[in-house]
Every structure is written in structure tokens, then in C-alpha cells.
Structure 1
């Protein structure tokens, strides 16, 4: 049973064609030093050997919950299907091409206790590894003394998440109450993290744990490698989230922070010839009254090319 000292933590392990990485990922759940875990194994209609591996692990761990989805529904809907059945006070969205380091859950639960009841999410540093598991670099850059420059944001971070990408998504431990307030992930989107950051940080604080808790795997099939293609659904989702953020902004500083993000997305859209999406981004900048000369020029290029 959950206790005040050891609240129940749900791990939603999401798999789509991760067979070659899956055993390492699932073994990292088994290796957690934190005892009070609830585990959901969710396969999003993989076409490789993933379902067979998941069945084997579910049989070896009878307390784990196995969900083999009959059709591919995408990360947001697959996660929600397990989240709605779960009971953990805290929740990890765990892609099964990544690896949880053994102290991950214990460290982050302790960080939540230190951060207080207004904290909706704890995140940390991560090791970025290649397909063979070799270290490439860390997510955050450090100086020769191991100090972060700048230190990642903690506390009220709404403007920070609008302006720049800095959170390592696989390291997040989310408060259940935060996810419930948001209604879970938005299933109309192609990816979840930017939307979660924007909507959650409007009402909740985030806390940075200065520790490496996770290994994030870099490979051509990973979600982070799929952005900025012509008619890219990820870019369409980014635009939808920028619209949500625009509605949530309360101050000129927040609108200026959003303009920084939109301006960067506009440049990427034009660079990758996603011209209809570039037009939409240009329109948001106009509504924010943040158009600079280069923004205007890129908007004209997008209009001419579309």
C-alpha cells in the first residue's frame, strides 16, 4: 500500500517497434531501488518482436499490467489509455528505447517532497546514448567543474518553456494531480511534451533535480528525429500548442517569450520548406505584434511558395 514516505509511482512503458532495446529498458524498471511501483506495459501495435518480449516480462512479473493495442494510436492516446487505469500519485511516461538509472524513481520522489505541493513535475539531467548504449554527451552542458551554465529553470517556468527547449522529456516525473487537471495528454497532437510543459507550467511549478537519472537513446526512429519534414504532423502540433500558449499568456513578457519560440519555429519551417505551416507561424507573430524585418521576409517567402 502507498505510504506518505513511499507514495505509489506509476511507470507507463510505451513501446513501438523497440524490440532491440526493450529488454534493457524493462530490466531498468526491475532494477529500480524504489519499491512502490505500478507498471503498465503498453505496445502501440508494434510490427517487430516487441509483443513477444512484453508478454514474457508480464508473465515474469504478475503485478505488471500488459496492454497490447490492436492498432497504432500514437503516443498521446497510448499513454492516456494506461494513465486512466493507473493509481500512482506520480507518473513516468517511459519510452522503451530509453533506460531508467537505478536510483531514478527514489531520487525524484525525494525531490518532490523537497519541492512542495505546488510542484507539478520534477525533471533532471540525462545521458544521451547511441544505439549501442555508448555515451554521446549529457543533455545539459557543464563547465570543467561540473557546474551548469545557465542552471535549468525551477519554480514558475511558464515564460521559460515558451521561449526555449531545455527540459529532457524522458527524465520527467509528473504529479498525477497535474495530469488530471490537464485531462491527460491532448490526443489531437502528434507529440506530448511541449503541450504538457505549457499547460502544466501555467498553474504548477517545475523543479530541476541536478542529477543524471535517465539514459535517452538517440537513433533514427526516435520521436525527436522526426521533426521538420514537409507537412510534418509534429510541426502542426507545435503550432497548435503555440496557439494554446498565446491564449494563456497574461503579460507582455510572456508574449515576448512566446514570440522567441514562434520566430525560431518559423525559421525551421521555411528552412525545411514547410511553407503552409510557416504562414501560420508568421500569422501568430503578427498577432503578437512581434514581427521583425526577417520575420516579414520569411512570411512573404512562405506565402509565395505555398
Structure 2
């Protein structure tokens, strides 16, 4: 029996302590046709040694690339995608874990949904640095509004309204990647931009299962790169590729949220970001935040004054 190849691309950076757990979870997949690609983004810990030792000891085939200079997460995952040859592509952070039947069930879902389906996503649990469960559902943890009935089809509005897709359990059809073009390497985080572009041309399907573990620790992007994540959305918004009043309303709503979060995180360009958000949304609170930022008043002080 012939099985379509699924390429699993791992972007590795300074997560040596978690790598073997992830690599073993790839090796434990019940699906028989997996291509493993690992790109290390010039880690300063012993990540390279960990990958090389694991490959040598297990004999598991892996395409392993090492960057001589740090290039960032988007370029690293972009290279994983370029190296991948499979019919389906899954990009995974080097601190996450895959459940054994994730890929088998995902491919079966693609077969069931047909060629218009460009991506399949499932839920996952949250775990801490030690591997202990923090929350049983990624979708419910990050936005309960979408947890009971995860959206399918065109996800542009849900994504702009706060739907977070767990990357480790989201697999994309190669034709969809080729149709929308390469990752935007000017962004700090590539996920949202890519999901929006795929949604314009293909459907997303939800696989109702918990099929992996998203690890949260002190080096996670949600803790260490809040400003860069907000900056990525400003860049996405300025592309202006939204269509119709519903998409633009959702995009402006998200713009206001990101501007507020940028101000709250004491971003150095908060006045400019808030003024841009006010001009786009005409929301009074954006004007208030802009004025406070211009006066050097921190967001925390404003919250205390208003009792928020």
C-alpha cells in the first residue's frame, strides 16, 4: 500500500532538554511514511549534539541543517518547508510533543475532506517544563469562545477574532503552501499570516481530538516576545488584503487589541502604534491610550486610575 509522505519540520533553538522527547514522539508515530527535517538556528546550548546523537543511536533518517548565524524562527521554519518533499507539511517547535496517532489521523482526515481542504488542525494539551499537564485544551485555554465549536472552512474572521491554532497539530497540504507562496520572513511569527493566506484559497478542517502537547516554559514566545508578536500583526494589517466589511471589522478589532497590548507591554513606539490604530478604528479608547502614552503615563497606572 502506498502512503503519501508527511514532512515533519522541527525548528530547533536552545531547547536541548526537550529535543529527545519530541524526536521520540516523531519516531513513535503510527503512520509509516514520515520525512523528518530538523533545522537548528545556531543554538548556544547542546541542541546540535542532542540531535546528532539521537540520529546516530536510533538510525532514524533525518535531514539535519545547522545555521552558522541565528536567523530567527520564521526563516528557520521557512527553510524546513523548502527542504520538505512530502505531500503534507507539519511544522513543530522543538519543545513540543506529538501524540502517536497524530499524523495517521490527520492524513485520514485529509482523505475524508478532499482536495479543497488545505489544512487540518486538532486540539492539544498544555504542559509545563517538566511535562506536567497545565490545561487539557489549547483551544479552550487561549480562547474559550471557539472551544465548543471550533470553526472550519474559511478561518479569516475567526483568526482575526482571536482563534489560535496550535501549530504542532496543524498540518498543511503542499498544494496550499505552493498556492499562497513562501513565508513572509519580515515577520517575527509566521503562523497567523500563513493561516490567513491559506484561508483565502482553501478550507481548514477541524479534527475533534487532543493529539499533542504544547509546552509552556520561561523561554516560550508567549512570555519572551510579546512586543515582536504585536509588531507582526501591525505588519500583517498593513498588507491590507482583507475583503468585505466583516473581515475589515474583525481586522480593525484585532488591531485595537494589539495596539493596547503593545502599550501595556511598554513598547517604545506605543504613541505611533496607538495613533495608527485610532485613525483606522476611530475608537475613543485608542485616542485616550495615545494621549496617555504621549504624556509618558504607563498602562498600569491608567488601569489603577480607572479601576480596570
TM-score by length of 1: 0.89
The question of whether the paired residues in 2 share the 8 Å contact of 1:239 and 1:281 is answered with: no
- Counterpart residue number, 1:258: 251
- 1:240 pairs, out of 235, 241, 245, with 235
Moved more, 200-209 or 178-187: 178-187
- Counterpart residue number, 2:305: none
- Counterpart residue number, 1:23: 20
Relative to structure 1, the CA distance from residue 192 to residue 47 in structure 2 (aligned partners, 3 Å threshold; closer, same or farther) is same
Give runs of ≥4 in structure 1 deviating > 6 Å: none
The question of whether the paired residues in 2 share the 8 Å contact of 1:262 and 1:281 is answered with: no
The question of whether the paired residues in 1 share the 8 Å contact of 2:102 and 2:211 is answered with: yes
Query: SS at 1:248's partner residue?
Result: coil
Query: SS at 2:107's partner residue?
Result: helix
- Counterpart residue number, 1:267: 260
Q: Distance in 2 between matches of 1:75 and 1:273?
A: 23
Relative to structure 1, the CA distance from residue 248 to residue 41 in structure 2 (aligned partners, 3 Å threshold; closer, same or farther) is same
The question of whether the paired residues in 2 share the 8 Å contact of 1:125 and 1:212 is answered with: yes
Query: SS at 2:219's partner residue?
Result: coil
Q: Distance in 2 between matches of 1:203 and 1:94?
A: 23
What is the root-mean-square deviation of aligned Cα atoms in Å? 2.0
Q: Distance in 2 between matches of 1:304 and 1:275?
A: 13
Report the Cα offset of residue 57 of structure 1: 2.4
The question of whether the paired residues in 2 share the 8 Å contact of 1:14 and 1:41 is answered with: yes
The question of whether the paired residues in 2 share the 8 Å contact of 1:128 and 1:139 is answered with: yes
Structure 2, gaps ≥5 residues long: 298-308
The question of whether the paired residues in 1 share the 8 Å contact of 2:27 and 2:60 is answered with: no
Report the Cα offset of residue 132 of structure 1: 0.7
Q: Please give the residue correspondences for 1:71-150 in structure 2 after superposition, counting only pairs within 5 Å.
A: 71-137=69-135, 138-141=137-140, 149-150=147-148
Q: Distance in 2 between matches of 1:140 and 1:162?
A: 15
Q: Distance in 1 between matches of 2:199 and 2:233?
A: 17
Structure 1, gaps ≥5 residues long: 143-147
Q: Distance in 2 between matches of 1:302 and 1:101?
A: 46
Q: Distance in 2 between matches of 1:254 and 1:184?
A: 23
Relative to structure 1, the CA distance from residue 7 to residue 166 in structure 2 (aligned partners, 3 Å threshold; closer, same or farther) is same
Moved more, 160-169 or 86-95: 160-169
Q: Distance in 2 between matches of 1:305 and 1:180?
A: 46
Report the Cα offset of residue 122 of structure 1: 0.9
Report the Cα offset of residue 140 of structure 1: 2.9
Aligned length: 291
TM-score by length of 2: 0.88
Report the Cα offset of residue 149 of structure 1: 4.8
Q: Distance in 1 between matches of 2:221 and 2:151?
A: 24
The question of whether the paired residues in 2 share the 8 Å contact of 1:158 and 1:201 is answered with: yes
